[in-house]
Chains A and B, each alone.
Chain A
Amino acid sequence: MTYEEFCSERGLRIPRRLLTAISNDLGTHIAPIIYCSGGSSDQPNSLAWALEMLQDSVTPAPPTHLPLIPVDDASIACAVCPFVDQNGPDLESLEDETCEVVRWHLGQIDQRFQGATLDSDAVEYLDSVVRELDARSSGLEKVKRRAQSYYQKFVTNGVRPRAEDLRPVQLACQNVIVGLATLCQDPTFDGLRVLDYLTCEVPHLATHEANRAMAALLLCDAYQNGGTMEIRFGSRYREEPVPPALGRYGRSAGLDLGVDDLHAITPVEARELFLTVTPMPDDLRARGHDLIDRGVITPERLCFTLMSQAWYAVELDYIIATSSRVTSILEGGAPFDLRRERLAEAEVCRAALMTGMLLRRLDSPDAASQSSGNVRAFEDGSIGITWAIREDLGAVAMTAVPEGALPWAAPEHDPLVMTRDGLLIVVPRALPTPNDHQLVQTLKADYPTAIVALLVPSDMFDAIAAGVPVLLCPDRLGELDTEIEGRLSKLRVGRA
């Protein structure tokens, strides 16, 4: 099977840039791994062999997918070729045509992750892979050497490194190392210098997750060090371009990195990248952008707050949706002697905290307790409950909550039981008033198929009117306040 046969069989065309690149210099470098045109299906690394793999995969690939190279043992990078269009543009305008590269998983996988974009341009993709692989073995050696030096200098001597000291970092998921880097704050440009940057794709991790996590780590470090947020790569005396894998991730997310300076992510690019790598549900992203647009918070502070887990996403979403005091809370809270302001902030934080606890409790699949045979626990598993904040009411709607008895039932009361609808509406209040009791009853009437409940600290149960469904957070008010004090303290001194 050749490229030409692949195209004519399916009515497709391969962008000319890609064909030219493969047949020229890039093709020579990528030859050991590319699925070559012309071989038979018995021949591993041939186009025909890869096409058979795609057809035999659990989810067969669409006909437009031209296999390029393996991503890992269980997925293939495919160029998405356009169909031939008889009335399409002339050949000249097709000279610069690009085509997207996606990752096709061969085994069973959640369809959300199937066909994720690896790169927006196939030629750039192949070029970046060649450069990445060329530098990998020497990069690994350097990281190893620098990690040993760090260990002797700091770990053995029990010395805490300063921001300016070179520090190795390692990212791992389920005991598989997916990223390595060495970094330090560099006063010569008041930004972060990254000497080594190595990541890889693995079957059990979403596409580009290693790059996203490593970029997040670099940006958080840069923010914490308080410089300009510029990130430069390579040593001071021999700078290197933005790592190919990071550039590839940027392109897949619609960001061009290293445009103004080949060797650096500029502060402007860093801001965009920070917003991209920080996971935010759509509602929270929209609310965050609204606050940024109003000049209430900076993008860096919003992202750092989430990435440092000072507040989890649902908690921050609740705070932004229901409080006018976002700036104050994110700066560590109002002065304690201004009790009224402090209480207004504390009450929002308590509600957010209880909501976060409940969501994490409901969203964790308790595989061990539900399994009758051998238990296999995944530490990062989740059921996939989503939430929406009713900002007009200070209530939280959770969807896809599994059927069955809800936790946190009131003592001597039957637990609330989720139905197949999976809609749970909670009204989190640490100091519930009769208005809140009334709100729960109103919501119950408005959403007859949903479970509606007041969510209160465990020591506030006596203040709830009879007949109001209630979920009791295991923490008492004082314990919530202790946790909030810790969170606010983290925001006050987190960058000290």
Chain B
Amino acid sequence: MTVESSVYVRIPEAATRHIVELDARAKASLRRSAKLPPGDRTEVIRFEALHAAIDQLAVAAMANGEPHLESAHPTVDSSGRLNDSKSLVGPSVLLPGAEFPFELPDGVLRWLREGNLVVELRLPHAPGETMLGGEAGRGPPKPASRWRNATETPRDAVRERFEYLISQALDDSGNEEASILPSGVTNPVLTEALRRNAHAEAGVRRIDLPVRYRDGSRGLEFPLRALTLTRRVPEHWRQLRFTLMSIRHVDMDAIVDGAWLRNARVSQRRQAGHTDQVAFETSSRQLCSLDPNIPTVISMYQTGLQPAIVGFYRAVVYHLIKYPKSIVVVPYYFQGGMQFDRGTAWTTM
């Protein structure tokens, strides 16, 4: 079986300038990537293409007889993931004079002291035993338990199933697998169930549960049993009406003051956990921009995109924890045409 090794290649002077340029462009790409919404791969692809060019130059240097060194490999932890605490964030170009938060072979340090540029290639094909991870005999997780609903209609079944899974997760909150599973849950069921579980009876401990989507991605924890919620909607507060996402139903534009989230930013092909993050960060920012001294009733006309709903209401809960009685959110669920059902208000009044 093969193992990983780090191959350090001393770059000849003729190629140094080119690699330094590529390294600078790769780092710029990394910086731009940090500004993009989660899941946007534009700069990822650019960064990887630039680094592939650096790697190719290093291989060409090796082929031309430039000195190179090979060193040890990382191991895996019990979950099968590589336990590599020395991870180098960014390009694996070692510039002379730079400081490194990890150990390097003496030969590489000498090259760097001598003013040479070094490129590290982590290659997986050195002879040795592949570490498979895990633990022999541990076995896979058990198949899911069978479940039958006690209700008649599919809609009630979705609600019952979602509530059942949340209550199971709350009972088993110490388990790392315990989480909220919003994928496939309809808009009203998801919102109402989250509201019911965000409400805390007196003396009940708050539990923050992670959100796990069907694609395997995870969202930030959602605070449950975190607020004492009521149904009272003050009549004389400022009223703002939003659609949760723009463009989805343009007919509504006539009755709302604006769209809370931009569809182009939210409805992208990426992991649901990233979409949740975008919705949460945008919503948190926008809620904070409201003056807490001017209490506001937000009527949210929403259609169903689960990560957007979870992200938005997570932000609402955190906002209400920080600024109690500053906002009231009343959900309105799309029923087709211009029909909406009014949901239960999220308010601490």
Contacts and interface: CB of A to CB of B under 8 A. Distances in A.
A214 interface: no
A267 B141 CA distance: 12
A323 B124 contact: yes
B91 interface: yes
A343 B146 CA distance: 42
Contacts, number: 240
B62 to A, nearest CB: 6
A496 B82 contact: no
Given A324-B82, A327-B79, A493-B270, A188 B149 contact: yes
B161 interface: yes
A347 B125 contact: yes
Given A187-B154, A478-B49, A341 B84 contact: yes
Contact of B121 (A331, A343, A494): A343
A351 B124 CA distance: 10
B167 interface: no
B88 A322 contact: no
Given A266-B146, A337-B30, A296 B133 contact: yes
A328 B44 CA distance: 17
Given A225-B184, A226-B183, A338-B88, A343 B55 contact: yes
Contacts of B59: 431-433, 460, 463
B333 interface: no
A303 B80 CA distance: 19
A325 B127 CA distance: 16
A391 B122 CA distance: 18
A344 B56 contact: no
A266 B146 CA distance: 7
Contacts of B131: 324
Contacts of A429: 125
B279 to A, nearest CB: 15
Interface in B155-172: 155, 157-158, 161
B63 interface: yes
Contact of B80 (A190, A191, A227, A326): A326
Contacts of A294: 80, 132-138
B116 interface: no
B158 A340 contact: no
B55 to A, nearest CB: 6
A296 B80 CA distance: 6
Contact of A226 (B44, B79, B122, B184): B184
B4 A324 contact: yes
Contacts of B133: 294, 296, 324, 326-327
Nearest to B270: A493
A435 B127 CA distance: 10
A464 interface: yes
A337 B90 contact: yes
A115 B117 CA distance: 66
B78 to A, nearest CB: 9
Given A229-B143, A336-B47, 6 more contacts: A295-B80, A326-B80, A338-B88, A343-B122, A463-B63, A493-B215
12 contacts: A188-B151, A293-B137, A297-B140, A321-B130, A322-B130, A327-B79, A331-B216, A339-B89, A340-B120, A351-B125, A436-B125, A481-B48
Interface of A: 163-164, 185-191, 225-230, 264, 266-268, 270-271, 290-299, 321-328, 331-332, 336-348, 351, 391-394, 429, 431-436, 459-460, 462-465, 477-478, 481-482, 485, 489, 492-496
Interface of B: 1-4, 6-7, 30, 33, 41, 44-45, 47-49, 51-52, 55-56, 58-60, 62-63, 68, 70, 76, 79-82, 84, 87-92, 120-127, 130-141, 143-149, 151, 154-155, 157-158, 161, 181, 183-184, 213-217, 269-272
